[in-house]
Amino acid sequence: MKFDRPRLRVAQEKSAFADGSSRWTNRDLDPIPLHRRKWGVTSLVAYWISDAFNAATWEFASGIIAVGLTYRESLVIVAVSFLIISIVISANGAIGAIYHSPFPVLARASWGFWGSYVAIISRIILAIFWFAIQTVNGSNSVTVMIGAIWPSYLRLKNDIPADQGITTNGMVSFVIFWIIQFPFLCAHPNKLRWLFMAKSIIVPIAWIAILIWAFVAEGGGKIFEQKATVSGSQYSWLWLASLTSTIGNYATLSVNQSDFSRYSRVSVKWQLLYIPMLPIIFTFIAFIGVAASSAGQARYNLAEIPWDPNVLISHWSSRACRFFGAFSFALASLGVNISANSLSAANDFAALVPRYLNIRRGQILCAILAWCLVPWKILESAGSFLNFMSAYAVFLGPIAGIMAFDFWLVKKRKYDSLALYHPDGIYRYSFGGVNWRAIVAFICGVVPSIPGLINSVNSSIDVGVGVHPYQFGWLLGFVGTSLVYLLLSYIFPATETLIDRAVLPDEIYDGRATVVEGVEPDSQLAGSDEEKNAMRAGRDADSQEKSGFKKFVTNLDRFL
């Protein structure tokens, strides 16, 4: 059959935002219309509970304790870290809740159309790598699950060379977990809220049960008697470095929270809920990790604390407990991989090549590229590379700062949602589609941390006191970049982008103000006849699904 390029293109419809060109948008990048905003308060809370319960959060305290601090200090650091990052997440998430566009599109307002690629590419690299690594983590849980049902699975003959960093059963588990993720990669984000709700119920129950076991079995172990082994200036620098490391794990969502908040149908004020909620949830999970790991060491007389939950679970005598315990961590990895990595990468891919990639294709591409990275080998042999990926937060702090301060202070919350989709509009800026103020501020925020970043990747390179700025690189980058950006924006204002009133997407969607229970009458649907029919079909399909338990949860969601 003759290769036909047009068949590879995603559906392109001339909408209220697209001008018929597919260079800068497609249906998935357009603002979410009113009838497709499904996320209420319950969905938003479930999303964050789902995102918090994962193995990385469980292990937050391990790295902090390993450098010489106590469990108390580790929990304080986790709480302070998420208090800081939750404020930024709320600030940038509010932009999506107001304008209902994804992060790659909203970045155009502060970076310019072509300048936004700096933020998009920085984010997409991290998303792909962490998707691959989280898939390995999930596959390790699958190995424990299968081993609990079929013990011989753990003794399968290994035909893979040792230097590859994976065994035969590990590879089989990786394939199984990768396949399990695939249906969720093909689902629309509105449908995924049910995954997050399920995970936010199942996983917390399982982990609280593990916490109870930890205190019933060994009283939490001996880690609660530990004292700090560092003092003075070393203590202070380690405290800051641990703070930066913890923030770095969720620095990505401080940048692209709008990818999810764009589906919100509740008041933007609900984004403030994250500020008290996130520190409490993440600190509690870190405490579970400390108590359970310490109890496991004491109960099984292990030489080292089993910080990896899969290692802890593998020592349990009950096969049923091993299976369901590992299942909770596999589900945790699945949820966070979709919410924090694949969906983010998909939005970024769609923004780079909107003619050929939408959210579904972008997620599938992310999953395919995960194989190309050979993540099991990275985890086995390239500790310095993982240090670099963790250190990548020094780039994300400046990006988050530019976007937040541009919206709240420079533009005073006034964006033109239509201009975000037209490259010749007000967000072209005067430098060929690049806001040079953002670029200069970004460089100023990143450069001080570069010496320390180099040292973290290759410790043989001595950078002297240059390592210290890197130890609080996210904070330095966020604050420094924000101040430089504000200064440049006030001295050299981009006056064409400073508008008198905000232009919201609902205004562009032509008369969608009157809504009955969140659904517009057919007469108010804008667009072509084909688009109207698609909207009606989607609306009818959604209404048919809302029965039984889903109907109960939906009504509760509306009530809240």
What CA–CA distance (Å, rounded) separates 242 from 117? 30
362, 350 contact by CB (below 8 A): yes
Say if residue 557's pLDDT is above 50.
no
**Number of domains, the chain:** 1
CA torsion, ordered 21, 23, 28, 34, to nearest 10 deg: -50
Residue 311, number of CB atoms within 10 A of its CB: 16
The pLDDT tens digits of the residues spanning 9-65 come to 666 556 667 655 567 888 889 999 988 999 999 989 988 988 899 888 898 887 788
Q: 326: closest CA among 203, 216, 217, 192?
A: 203
What CA–CA distance (Å, rounded) separates 142 from 506? 45
- Residue 424 inside a domain? The answer is yes
**pLDDT at residue 374 in the model:** 82
- Residue 289 inside a domain? The answer is yes
Determine the average pLDDT of the residues in 429-457.
91
Q: Which domain holds residue 270?
A: 34-509
Determine the average pLDDT of the residues in 323-338.
93
Residue 157, number of CB atoms within 10 A of its CB: 7
The CATH number of the domain holding residue 158 is 1.10.4160.10
**pLDDT at residue 18 in the model:** 67
Determine the average pLDDT of the residues in 362-367.
94
102, 262 contact by CB (below 8 A): yes
**pLDDT at residue 151 in the model:** 93
- Residue 446 inside a domain? The answer is yes
Say if residue 384's pLDDT is above 60.
no
Residues in the chain: 560
**pLDDT at residue 4 in the model:** 46
Q: 143: closest CA among 285, 308, 300, 289?
A: 308
Look up residue 126 and give its two tokens: 């991290």
- Per-residue burial over 90-108, b if 16 or more Cβ lie within 10 Å, else e, is bbbbbbbbbbbbbbbbbbb
- Residue 554 inside a domain? The answer is no
What CA–CA distance (Å, rounded) separates 214 from 385? 34
Look up residue 386 and give its two tokens: 């993982």
- Residue 29 inside a domain? The answer is no
Determine the average pLDDT of the residues in 347-353.
91
Over pLDDT 70: what percentage of the chain? 84
- Residue 549 inside a domain? The answer is no
Residue 502, number of CB atoms within 10 A of its CB: 15
Predicted structure pTM score: 0.85
The pLDDT tens digits of the residues spanning 253-298 come to 899 899 999 999 999 999 999 999 999 999 999 999 999 998 998 8
DSSP string covering 263-313: TB-S-GGGGGGHHHHHHHHHHHHHHHHHHHHHHHHHHTT-SS---SHHHHH
- Residue 83 inside a domain? The answer is yes
Q: 59: closest CA among 211, 328, 286, 249?
A: 286
**pLDDT at residue 411 in the model:** 97
What CA–CA distance (Å, rounded) separates 445 from 449? 8
Q: How confident is the model at residue 168 (pLDDT cuts 50, 70, 90)?
A: very high
**pLDDT at residue 551 in the model:** 54
DSSP state, residue 33: P
- Residue 386 inside a domain? The answer is yes
Residue predicted with more confidence, 526 or 497: 497
Determine the average pLDDT of the residues in 467-487.
93
Name the region of 9 (left: φ>0; alpha: ψ -120 to 50; beta: rest): beta
Integer Rg of the chain from CA: 24
